Amino acid sequence: MSNKFKVFIDGKAGTTGLKIYERLGKRDDIEILLIDEDKRKDSAERAKMINSADVVFLCLPDAAAKEAVALCTNPDTRIIDASTAHRTDPAWDYGFPELSEKHRENIRKSKRVANPGCYASGFISLVYPLIQAGVLPEDYPVTCHAVSGYSGAGNKMINVIESDDKTFEMNSPRQYALGQQHKHLPEMQKICGMKYAPMFNPIVDDYYSGMVVSVPLVTRCLTKKYTPAEIHEIMSAHYAGQHFVKVMELGGAETLADGFLAANTLADTNDMQIFVCGNDEQILLCSRFDNLGKGASGAAMQNMNIMLGIDETKGL
């Protein structure tokens, strides 16, 4: 009798599902349950797979993710949802273990974990510690700028950008969600405990994966006038001892030898680097990671490891 954990990936064909499948396929403690290609939309067959698994990854559109959860009748099946469907649902635990020991413990005990969004991961990594430390007033007008590789746009956009149908404009950075209705906004606001949603300006660029999320702070508008060194100390204390999230040296001088913060440096990793830069009047916080790693599949696998009680770095 196999002592391997049985894992089913519902939505294996997407970018997140494929990454999870590739990584899990290299592990000796995981048995991947595979559904026949012609039955991957068959509810009865999906239900059979879901209820036979120790862990199910949902890499699906929101409606399909909710449908998959409804198919689960096995009380022992753990579900990690990579869609937007359950990220603000109080019945689900938010899958960012580095935010606090409570978050980590909730994930460890959980049967239902909502995997964070990629942009949201960067934003929350910067803003959550500051709100917890009382740095930001509840009505502070938070602004966030972010750049991501085009893989974050999903298979349809990937296929266009990597085909002869690629337009001239796709060679440049392209800002979108101009109407301030991006699907990650509710998650960003709720998880951080903000009174108002942030102004969010996402940009997709002509490289495959990796992202930088930036939040500027005007120190005269904070609860008191903090220096960059004080903010750096708050961030460093918050993430002390974490394996995947590291606060880099103040100003980033050693890491950013050429003065540029490239967005693709951490591609193919589950690492996240946090930078504190600026001066006594204006401080810039930046979070750098892979939108397919800590922003998606890597985070999902890390959560699975925690839920199964094994080393959170295994396979990452």
d(CA 28, CA 2): 11
Which of helix, strand or coil describes residue 204? strand
Q: Is 118 a catalytic residue?
A: yes
Distance of CA 111 to the CA centre of its chain: 19
The catalytic position among 59, 72, 118, 144 is: 118
Note whether 1 and 48 are within 8 A (CB).
no
Closest CA to 4 of 301, 313, 308: 308
Distance of CA 277 to the CA centre of its chain: 23
Which of helix, strand or coil describes residue 159? helix
Q: Which two tokens stand for residue 286?
A: 């930046």
d(CA 98, CA 102): 9
Closest CA to 210 of 261, 147, 161, 159: 147
CB atoms within 10 A of CB 179: 6
Taking the alpha carbons at both ends of the chain, their separation in whole angstroms is 27
Catalytic residues: 118
